Structure 1
Amino acid sequence: MTTTVAVRPLTITACGVVSPAGLGLDVLGGALRSGVEEHAAPVSGFEDVVDGYPPRPAWAVPDLRVAEHLGRKGLRHIDRFTLLGLIACKLALDEYGRPLTDAERAETGVVMATNTGSLVSMLEVGRDTLLQEKPYLVNPARFPNVVTNACTGQIAIRNSLTGVNVVMSGGQAAGLAAVRFARTTIGDGRSRRLLVGGIEELSEVAAWGWHKSGALRDDAAVGEGAAAFLVEDGETVAAEGRTGLAELLGCEVGYYGARDAEGRLDGLRSGIERALDRSGLSPGEVDVVAVGATGQLGVEEIEERALQEVLGRPVPTVRVAETLGELYSASVPLQIAAVLALWRAEPADHARVALVTSIGGDGNAGCLVVRECR
C-alpha cells in the first residue's frame, strides 16, 4: 500500500504578470471577464495573413514600454523574450512591499519554465551562420541570447540575485516542473525565496509551427506572456507573521507517453488524486479549475475527462487560452495568475481552492493545488 506524504506549502508573497491584457493581475482579471480584445495588440486576424503570420488569431503584449520598467541602460541587445521575463520579475519584486537586502538577494534564486528560450534569437543566429559569406559577419551581440538560460541569467544579474538559477523544460507542463523544483530547493535550504514562473514570446515562427502542426483548433489563438511569483516557505512566512496571495500545495507532474491517450488520462487522473491527497483536501473542496489544454485537438478531451472522473461534478472552469491564446511554456504560470486575478476581483469569505491542470501532446501531464491565503 502506497502512503502519500503531506506536502509542505509554499507561499506566493508577490506576483508580476505581463500578458496580452497588459501588466498586472487587475487587467488580467478584467480581460478574463470581458475578453482580451479591449486590451491586447492583435497581430493577425481570422481571414488574412498579416505581417507574415498564419491565418489564425494571435495576441501580443500591448505597448511594452521597456524603459519605464527597466531603464534605458544595458538593453540594446536583449531580445523580447528576455524583456518579458525581466519586466514580470521586476513587477513581482516591486510588489513585495520593500526592497530586498543584500543578504536576502544572496538567498534568492530564479526558476523559470522555458522549453527553448528565445526561438527568434536562435533562428536569427542560425540563419546568419548559414547565409553570411564569412562566419565573423554573424552579429556577436546576439549570440548570448541563444542559450536557454539567457533570460534567467539576466534576471539574476539585473536584480543581484545570487541563489540558484535554473530553467525547466517540460513542454506544456514546464511550469509544474518549476514549482516542483522550487519546493525541493527551498525545502533543502538552498534558497530562502525564489522567483518562479514562465515565459513565452509570440513570433511568426512559433505561430506557423502551431498552425502547421495541426495541434490546435483552427480558431485557437496563439499568444505570449510571462508570469513570475516570489515564493517562500509557507511555514516560515506564517511564523514571521506575514501573509501572501496564495499557497502552492500538492504538485504532480510526469511523462505518460505522447502516443498513449489512455496512459495520459490515467497519469493525469492519478496525479490529481495524489496532489489533493498530499494537500489534505478532498475533490469536493475544489472551488475552481484552471485548465491548460484549451484548443488542443485530442488533448483537451483527455483533460476534461480526467477532471470529471476525479471531481465527479461540474466545477467553475478558467480557460486562459481562450483569452490570451496558446502560451506553451508560460501556460501554467499564467493559469495560476488567472486564478489569483479572479480571486482578487471577486473576494470570498473563505480560503478558496483551485486546481491547475496541464497536459500536452508531448506526453507530459500534471496538476497543482493552489489555496487562497486568508
Structure 2
Amino acid sequence: MNATALPDAPPEAAAGHLPRDGALAITGWGTVCSLAIGAEEFSAAVTEGRSGLRDVTGMFEDEDLPAAEACAMPDFRVRDHLGRKGTSFFDRSTSLALVGCSLALDDTDLAVGDDNRERVGIVLGTTAGSIRATGEYSRETLVQDRPYLVNPMLFPNTVMNCAAGQAAIRHRLKGVNATVAGGQLAGLSALRYARNLIRRDYADALLVGSVEEFSPHTAWGTHHLYADDDGRAPVGEGSAVFVVEDAAAVHRAGRLPDAEVLAVEVGTYAPADGRPEAGDRGRPGAAEGLATCIARALERAGAAPSEVWAVASGESGVEHRDAVERRGIEAALGTTAERLRVKRSTGECHSASGSLQIAALLGRHRIDPALDGRLSVVTSCSPDGAVGAAVLRGWHRARRDHRG
C-alpha cells in the first residue's frame, strides 16, 4: 500500500476534539481471518502489506476445491479460542463470529456487567448464514430416515441469526440482537442499522460486524461466477467485529475511542442487464450512485473531499465491478487519496469484506500517530448494483491507553 501526502490536519484533530452529533464511537475491535487474528496482529499485517493466502489442500476431507490456495484458515479451531464447552456443534460462521466478538470485548475499555448488559446487544451482517451448514442439513433430510436419524443439533446452524444468538448467549448480552443480510454491503448495512438503534435509544453499546466462512460451496460458487476473471482475489473467510457506542456519551465519560463513524450511506442502482455499469430507464448507474453515496456521507460528516486521506475499497480483481467502484470513488474524491485494496491481503470475503475494510483503516490508525484525526472512507459495491460508503475519523491506540 503506497503512502501518499496527507492533507493538513483539521481543527477537530486537536486535543479538544468534540464528537459530531449522532456519531458513533468505536471503542474496541477484533478480527479473525487468514491474515491475522486479533486487532494488534491485524494492524501490523495490514501496515506491512502481508498476504493471507494459504494452502487449503485437504481442508475438507472428501471434497475437492477449485484452487489449491485461498485466504482461509485450515488450522482454525474454535475450541482453541473459546474452549470445548458449548462449542462442539458450532458451524464455521458461528465460530468465526464468536471469536471476533470475544476479541472485540477484550479490546474495548467498556465494562459489560449486570448493571448494563440489558443495554448491550449485537448486530451481525451476513449473506445467508452458514451455507455449508444449511446444505448439509438439507442433505441429511434427504438421505436419512426422518426424523429419527436427522441430527437435531445441526438444525440451529441453518438459521441465519445463529451466530448473533450464540454470541449473545455466550457473553450474556441481553440487548438488541439482529442479523442483517446484505452480501457485499453486510458490514456497512449492519453499521448503519446499529447507528439507528443507538440514535433511537434502543441500546447504549453494540457489537457490530459481519462474517463469512470458507467452504466448498462458496469456493465453487465464486469460481463458476467469475471463471473468466483471472485477476480476481482468491476466496477468503473471516469476521470483523467492533464495539460501538454513542460518541458523545464516550466523550462525556472521559474515554477516548479508536475511531468515530461520522456517516454511513447506502443505495441501490441496479441496471436491467445485471451489470452495474450503466443506468436503467433513466436511473443512475452504480458508479454514479456510489459517487452520490460518498458525497452524501461527506456532507453528513461535515467534511470536504480534500480532507480524506484514504479510501478502503471493495475492489476484488473482477474488472467490470472494480471499474464501477473506481469511477464512483474518483468522481467523488478525485485520485489523491491513498487506496487500500484490502482484498489483496484478505481475499474475497463476501459479506465480511466491508467490516475487514473498516478494520484495515483502524489498523493503520492504531499504530501511526501521524494519522490522528484524519478522515477516511470505506466503499462497497455488490454485483446487483447496491452501493455504500462510510466516513471514519481515527486515532492511534497509544493515545487511549496513555490518556494523552
TM over 0.5: yes
Q: Which residue of 2 aligns with 1:285?
A: 307
Query: Bigger CA drift: 250-259 or 83-92?
Result: 250-259
1:11-50 maps to which residues of 2 (within 5 A)?
A: 11-37=25-51, 41-43=54-56
Gaps of 5+ in 1: 1-5
User: Distance between the aligned counterparts of 2:48 and 2:63, measured in 1?
Assistant: 27
User: Distance between the aligned counterparts of 2:322 and 2:375, measured in 1?
Assistant: 22
SS at match of 1:287: strand
Q: In 2 relative to 1, CA 333–349 (structure 1 residues): closer, same or farther, beyond 3 Å?
A: closer
Q: In 2 relative to 1, CA 157–286 (structure 1 residues): closer, same or farther, beyond 3 Å?
A: same
User: Distance between the aligned counterparts of 2:265 and 2:198, measured in 1?
Assistant: 17
Query: Bigger CA drift: 130-139 or 59-68?
Result: 59-68
Counterpart residue type for residue 299 of structure 1:
R
CA contact (8 A) 1:18 1:61 kept: no
Gaps of 5+ in 2: 1-19, 279-284, 400-404
1:196 aligns with 2:200: no
Q: In 2 relative to 1, CA 197–215 (structure 1 residues): closer, same or farther, beyond 3 Å?
A: farther
CA contact (8 A) 1:22 1:40 kept: no
TM-score, normalised by the number of residues in structure 1: 0.92
1:65: how far off? 4.6
CA contact (8 A) 1:215 1:296 kept: no
Q: In 2 relative to 1, CA 69–81 (structure 1 residues): closer, same or farther, beyond 3 Å?
A: same
1:269 aligns with 2:294: no
Q: In 2 relative to 1, CA 349–36 (structure 1 residues): closer, same or farther, beyond 3 Å?
A: closer
1:106: how far off? 1.0
User: Distance between the aligned counterparts of 1:54 and 1:109, measured in 2?
Assistant: 38
1:128 aligns with 2:144: no
Q: Which residue of 1 aligns with 2:66?
A: 54
SS at match of 1:223: coil
Counterpart residue type for residue 164 of structure 1:
V
User: Distance between the aligned counterparts of 1:271 and 1:7, measured in 2?
Assistant: 20
SS at match of 1:163: coil
Q: Which residue of 2 aligns with 1:146?
A: 158
Q: In 2 relative to 1, CA 74–349 (structure 1 residues): closer, same or farther, beyond 3 Å?
A: closer
Query: Bigger CA drift: 332-341 or 255-264?
Result: 255-264
User: Distance between the aligned counterparts of 1:350 and 1:325, measured in 2?
Assistant: 28
1:174 aligns with 2:196: no
Query: Bigger CA drift: 275-284 or 291-300?
Result: 291-300
Deviations 1:217-264 (A, max 9, x none): 324201000011000000111111111100001110121115342321
Identity %: 43
User: Distance between the aligned counterparts of 1:350 and 1:214, measured in 2?
Assistant: 39
1:95: how far off? 1.4
Q: Which residue of 1 aligns with 2:321?
A: 299
1:244 aligns with 2:257: yes
User: Distance between the aligned counterparts of 2:161 and 2:304, measured in 1?
Assistant: 38
CA contact (8 A) 2:378 2:390 kept: yes
Deviations 1:1-23 (A, max 9, x none): xxxxx861100011011111221
Count the aligned residue pairs. 364
User: Distance between the aligned counterparts of 2:188 and 2:291, measured in 1?
Assistant: 16
Counterpart residue type for residue 123 of structure 1:
G
1:70-219 maps to which residues of 2 (within 5 A)?
A: 70-97=82-109, 99-214=111-226, 217-219=229-231
Deviations 1:154-212 (A, max 9, x none): 00011111111111112211111111111110011110000000000001110100000
SS at match of 1:365: strand
User: Distance between the aligned counterparts of 2:74 and 2:24, measured in 1?
Assistant: 32
Counterpart residue type for residue 360 of structure 1:
S
Q: Which residue of 1 aligns with 2:9?
A: none
SS at match of 1:369: strand
Q: In 2 relative to 1, CA 133–126 (structure 1 residues): closer, same or farther, beyond 3 Å?
A: same
Q: Which residue of 2 aligns with 1:333?
A: 355
CA contact (8 A) 1:13 1:229 kept: yes
Q: Which residue of 2 aligns with 1:358?
A: 380
Query: Bigger CA drift: 171-180 or 19-28?
Result: 19-28
CA contact (8 A) 2:56 2:74 kept: no
1:34: how far off? 4.3
CA contact (8 A) 1:109 1:165 kept: yes
Q: In 2 relative to 1, CA 216–246 (structure 1 residues): closer, same or farther, beyond 3 Å?
A: farther
SS at match of 1:317: strand
Deviations 1:291-334 (A, max 9, x none): 01322331100110111111123221111111110011101110
User: Distance between the aligned counterparts of 2:389 and 2:288, measured in 1?
Assistant: 13
Partner residue of 2:339 out of 298, 317, 320: 317
